[in-house]
C-alpha cells in the first residue's frame, strides 16, 4: 500500500496500492451505501460538514425543514382561498377587479417592506432569534387572514392588503435574520456555501410539500371545516418547529438580552453562565423585562437639561469614553458615547448599567448585597449622580475579571450586538471644547 486517504470526517476511505509495472490501483474501503449517502451530503450539506458549521447546525436545520414543510402546506390553502376571493370560478367576476385587487395587495406590501426596514432594520442583527420567530408568527397570521378573506366579500380588499403588508414584513425580517443565522453557522468563511445549501434544502422541502398539495387540494376544495382543521394542525406544527429551531441556536455573541442574563447571574453567584445556559434562557418571544431600560448611544439633548448637570457628569467620568446617566422618574439609563469610544467602552457601559439595574431590582434584599452596598445606599437616597459614580468605581475594579471569565466560557467580545444608536459626543474636563473641535 502506497497511501490511504479520507474525505473529511466521513466514512469515505480509499487506499492506493502499487501493482505490476508500477501501476497505481485504487481500492475503495467505504462501507455499503456510502456513495449514496455521500451524494446527498455533497448536494444538500455544506462542504466539510460537520467541521465547517456550528455545532447547532443539524438540529436547527431539522426543525427548519419541518417548519418549511408546514408553512408550504398552509400557504397552498391560502393560495386557494385567494384565487376564490378574486373571482376564480365566479361568472360575475371581472379580470379588471382581480387585477386591481392584486395590484393593491402588492403595492401596500411594498410600502410595508420599506417602512419596516426603516423602523426595525438595525435591530434585526441584535435579536436575530426573536425576530426570526416573530416573522414566522406574522406569516401564520397573514395566511389566516388570506383564508378568512373570501368569507367577507365587502372587506376582502382591506383584509388582503393587510395580509400583504404582513407578508412583506415577513420577507424583510425572515431574510435578514436568516442571513444573521447563516453567518453564525458558517465557521470556515463559507457563508455563501451554507446559504446556498440551505436554499437547496428548502427547495427540496417545498417540492415535497408541492407533491402533497397536489393530493390535498382536490380533497379539501369546498370543504371549509377540513380546510380550517388542516390549517390549525399545520400552523401548530409550524410554530412548534420554529420555536424549537430558534431555541436550539447557540450564539456566542453578546446582545442586550444575553448580557443581562450573564451579569445578573454573575452578581448573584460570581459565576459566568455557559453559552448553552444563556441561550436556553434567552427570551425569544418578548423583550427582556426590566424596570430600568438601557439606551446606548443616546443624544445629550435627551439626557441633560442644564449646563451644571452635564458638567458634573463630565467631571465624574474623567478618563472615560462614555457618560452614564440614571433617571429614576422615567426608569431610563442613558449612555452617551464619546467619538473615541471602542467596543470595550460600550461593553463596560452596558455592564455598569446592568449592575445598577440589578441593585435597583433587589433593593428589598439589600442585606444580600455587601459588595454593592455603596450603590444600594446611593439608590436609597435617590442620588442618581452618586449612584452613577460609585457604580463606575465598582465596574473599573471588576470589569477585567468579568471579561476574562467571559472569554474562558467561549463568549466573543467582538463583534458586539448591543444595538447602539449613532449619536457620538466630544467633551473635555472643563465641559467646553476648543474652537478647533467646534
- Kindly give the pairing relationship between strand 322-327 and strand 24-28: unpaired
Range of the domain at 371: 254-437
Q: Is 51 a domain residue?
A: no
Question: Is position 358 within any domain?
Answer: yes
* Longest CA pairwise span in the chain (Å): 94
Q: Give the Cα separation of 37 and 111 in Å (integer).
A: 46
What local confidence, expressed as pLDDT, does residue 33 receive?
60
Last residue of a domain, one of 200, 219, 247: 247
Span between the terminal Cα atoms of the chain, in Å:
77
Q: Is residue 375 domain-shared with residue 292, that is, in the same domain?
A: yes
Whether 297 and 410 share a structural domain:
yes
- Where is the domain boundary, 247, 278, 298? 247
Phi/psi-derived region of residue 108, left when phi > 0, alpha when psi is between -120 and 50, beta in every other case: alpha
- Residue 306's pLDDT is 75
Cell numbers for 257, please give them.
438580552
State the CB neighbour count (10 A cutoff) for residue 284: 20
Q: Note whether 243 and 265 are same-domain residues.
A: no
The domain tally of the chain equals: 3
pLDDT at 92: 60
416-417/254-255 β-pairing: parallel
Mean pLDDT in each 10-residue stretch from start to end of the chain (438 residues)?
Answer: 75 80 77 68 84 91 94 90 71 70 84 88 86 93 92 87 91 90 90 91 92 87 88 95 94 94 92 94 88 92 83 89 93 93 95 94 79 89 92 94 93 91 83 52
Q: Checking DSSP bridges between strand 24-28 and strand 13-18, what pairing results, if any?
A: antiparallel
Amino acid at each position: 500500500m502506497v497511501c490511504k486517504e479520507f474525505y473529511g470526517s466521513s466514512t469515505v476511505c480509499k487506499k492506493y496500492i502499487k501493482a505490476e509495472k508500477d501501476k497505481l490501483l485504487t481500492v475503495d474501503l467505504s462501507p455499503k451505501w456510502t456513495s449514496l449517502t455521500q451524494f446527498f451530503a455533497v448536494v444538500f450539506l455544506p462542504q466539510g460538514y460537520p467541521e465547517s458549521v456550528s455545532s447547532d447546525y443539524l438540529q436547527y436545520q431539522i426543525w427548519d425543514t419541518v417548519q418549511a414543510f408546514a408553512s408550504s402546506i398552509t400557504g397552498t390553502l391560502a393560495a386557494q382561498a385567494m384565487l376564490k376571493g378574486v373571482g376564480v370560478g365566479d361568472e360575475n367576476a371581472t379580470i379588471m377587479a382581480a387585477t386591481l385587487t392584486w395590484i393593491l395587495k402588492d403595492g401596500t406590501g411594498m410600502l410595508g417592506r420599506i417602512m419596516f426596514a426603516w423602523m426595525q432594520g438595525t435591530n434585526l442583527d441584535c435579536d436575530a432569534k426573536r425576530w426570526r420567530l416573530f416573522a414566522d408568527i406574522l406569516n401564520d397570521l397573514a395566511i389566516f387572514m388570506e383564508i378568512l378573506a373570501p368569507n367577507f366579500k365587502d372587506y376582502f380588499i382591506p383584509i388582503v392588503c393587510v395580509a400583504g403588508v404582513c407578508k412583506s414584513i415577513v420577507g424583510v425580517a425572515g431574510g435578514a435574520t436568516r442571513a444573521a443565522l447563516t453567518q453564525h453557522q458558517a465557521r470556515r468563511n463559507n457563508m455563501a456555501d451554507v446559504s446556498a445549501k440551505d436554499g437547496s434544502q428548502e427547495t427540496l422541502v417545498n417540492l415535497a410539500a408541492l407533491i402533497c398539495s397536489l393530493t390535498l387540494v382536490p380533497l379539501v376544495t369546498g370543504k371549509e371545516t377540513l380546510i380550517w382543521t388542516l390549517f390549525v394542525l399545520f400552523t401548530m406544527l409550524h410554530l412548534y418547529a420554529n420555536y424549537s429551531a430558534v431555541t436550539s441556536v447557540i450564539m456566542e455573541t453578546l446582545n442586550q438580552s444575553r448580557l443581562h442574563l450573564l451579569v445578573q447571574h454573575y452578581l448573584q453567584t460570581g459565576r459566568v453562565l455557559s453559552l448553552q445556559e444563556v441561550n436556553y434562557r434567552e427570551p425569544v418571544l418578548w423583550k427582556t423585562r426590566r424596570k430600568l431600560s438601557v439606551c446606548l448611544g443616546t443624544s445629550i439633548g435627551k439626557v441633560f437639561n442644564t449646563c451644571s448637570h452635564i458638567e458634573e457628569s463630565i467631571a465624574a467620568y474623567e478618563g472615560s469614553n462614555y457618560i452614564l446617566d440614571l433617571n429614576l422618574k422615567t426608569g431610563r439609563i442613558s449612555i452617551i458615547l464619546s467619538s473615541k469610544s471602542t467596543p470595550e467602552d460600550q461593553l463596560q457601559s452596558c455592564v455598569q448599567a446592568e449592575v445598577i439595574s440589578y441593585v435597583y431590582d433587589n433593593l428589598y434584599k439589600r442585606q444580600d448585597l455587601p459588595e454593592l452596598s455603596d450603590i444600594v445606599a446611593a439608590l436609597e437616597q435617590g442620588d442618581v449622580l452618586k449612584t452613577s459614580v460609585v457604580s463606575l468605581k465598582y465596574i473599573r475594579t471588576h470589569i477585567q475579571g468579568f471579561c476574562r471569565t467571559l472569554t474562558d466560557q467561549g463568549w466573543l467580545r467582538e463583534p458586539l450586538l448591543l444595538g447602539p444608536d449613532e449619536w457620538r459626543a466630544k467633551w473635555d474636563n472643563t465641559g467646553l471644547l476648543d474652537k478647533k473641535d467646534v
